[in-house]
Amino acid sequence: MPDFQAAYLIHGEDHGRVAERRGKLAALAELEAGAGGIEQFEAASSEPAAIAAALSAMTFAVGWRFLIISGCERWRDADVKADLAAAMAAMPEETTVAFFACEDGRQKAPEALHKAVKALGGPIANEGVLKSKELPPWAIAQAAAMSITLDGAGAQALIAQVGERQQRLLRELEKLALEYGPGAKIGVEEVGESAANSSELLVWGLVDAIVARDQRTAIVTFLRLRDQNEDGGRLAVAIVRRLRDVMAIAERLQAGASDSQAAAGIAGGSYAVKRRLGEARSADPELLREATEALAALELASRGGSALDQDTETLRVIERIAA
C-alpha cells in the first residue's frame, strides 16, 4: 500500500502536469479505497466552506477516505483562512485531502492553503512551466533518461514541431524512444519523420488527400482543422508547397531525370523525399498541371483577396483541386 499523506497541494502553470498528477493520485486512491472511497470536487462550485463540511461529515465508509479538489486557484485566501484551515487541522485519521491548482498570471493557489497543507506536513509541488531557453537542455536530459541521445538541433526541432508544453514533449520523446530503441541518436531528421502535433498530422492528411484527388477526405479533413481553429492561410501555404514539390518532381521524372535528380532541392528528410517521389510517380502529370491553375486562386484566398470569406474560398479551391 502506498503511504498517503494527510494533505497535498499540487499547483503551477504546467496545467498538463497538474492534471496528470491528479489522475495518478485518483487512480492510486481508487486502488486503495475503491470508487466509493473517493470524493471529487470542483472549486468553481465548491467553496472552502463546502470542503470543510465534507471533511467534518461522518461517513460509513470503511478504510481510507480521499477528497480530491480541482481548481483551487479560484479560491480566495480569506475564505480558506475562515472556513477550511481549522477543519483540515481537525481531520479524522485515515483521510487524505488533495488540492490541485492550475495557475496563471492572475490566479494562484491561496497562501492560506499553502500554510494549511504545510501545517499537516503535506507535500507541496510547484509544476512550473520552463522558459523557452530552458526547454532544449531539459528535453535532452529527458531523452537521456529514456536511453536515447537527442542532440541540440533535434531538441530545437522537436520544440518547434510540437510546441513548448512539457507533457507533450515527453509523450513525443517516449514515441521516439519506442520507435528507435535504446542507444539511438535522434537528430533533426528523426524528429521530422516521427514527431508531429495533432493539427500537423491533419494538415499532412489534408495535403495527402488533395494529392491523391480524394475530394471527400480532403473536405472532411479541412473542416476538422477549421473546427480546431487552424488558420486557413497556413493550410493554403502547406497545400501549395506540397503540390509544387510533387509537380516539380513529376515534371523532372517525365523528362527522364533519375530519382536523385528529380528530388534535388526538395525540402525534408529522406522519408519525406521518398514520399514525394512516390506521390509524383502515381500522380497524373496532366492533372497536376491542371491543379496549378488553382494555386494562384488559393494563395489569393489565403491573403483575403476574394469577395468570399477566406474559409469559403479555400474550401472551394480544395474541392476544385481534389475533384
Compute mean pLDDT per 10 residues along the chain, 323 residues long, and list them. Answer: 84 85 89 85 92 83 86 94 93 92 88 96 89 89 93 88 77 85 89 63 69 78 70 64 79 85 73 74 69 60 53 72 70
Q: Write down the pLDDT at residue 307.
A: 47
Do 66 and 168 have their domain in common?
no
Q: Write down the pLDDT at residue 129.
A: 78
> What CATH number is associated with residue 239?
1.20.272.10
Q: Using alpha carbons only, how large is the chain's radius of gyration in Å?
A: 27
91-103 residues labelled b (16+ CB within 10 A) or e (exposed) = beeebbbbbbbbb
| Count: domains in the chain | 3
Do 109 and 139 have their domain in common?
no
Q: Write down the pLDDT at residue 52.
A: 94
94 within a domain of the structure (yes/no): yes
Do 231 and 272 have their domain in common?
yes
Q: Write down the pLDDT at residue 290.
A: 65
Do 177 and 210 have their domain in common?
no
Do 137 and 226 have their domain in common?
no
What CA dihedral angle connects 69, 75, 79 and 84, to 10 degrees?
20
Task: Give the domain-ending residue among 108, 126, 144.
Answer: 126
Do 288 and 178 have their domain in common?
no
Q: Write down the pLDDT at residue 15.
A: 83
For residue 120, how far is the Cα from the chain centroid?
35
> What CATH number is associated with residue 181?
1.10.8.60
Task: Give the domain-ending residue among 141, 176, 194.
Answer: 194
Do 71 and 37 have their domain in common?
yes
Task: Give the domain-ending residue among 83, 102, 126.
Answer: 126
> What CATH number is associated with residue 13?
3.40.50.300
260 within a domain of the structure (yes/no): yes
Grid coordinates in use for 255? 523528362
Strands 65-70 and 185-186: unpaired
**Cell 531539459 appears where?**
138
Do 49 and 111 have their domain in common?
yes
Closest of 120, 152, 126, 123 to residue 139, by C-alpha: 152
1 within a domain of the structure (yes/no): no
Can you give the residue range of the structural domain that contains 113?
Answer: 7-126
Show the DSSP H helices in 228-284 as ranges. 232-254, 259-262, 270-282
Grid coordinates in use for 166? 512539457
28 within a domain of the structure (yes/no): yes
255 within a domain of the structure (yes/no): yes
pTM assigned to the model: 0.50
Do 150 and 244 have their domain in common?
no
Do 203 and 309 have their domain in common?
yes
221 within a domain of the structure (yes/no): yes
- Under 8 Å between Cβ of 289 and 178: no
Do 66 and 181 have their domain in common?
no
Q: Write down the pLDDT at residue 50.
A: 94
Beta-carbon-side half-sphere exposure of residue 114 (alpha carbons within 13 Å) = 10
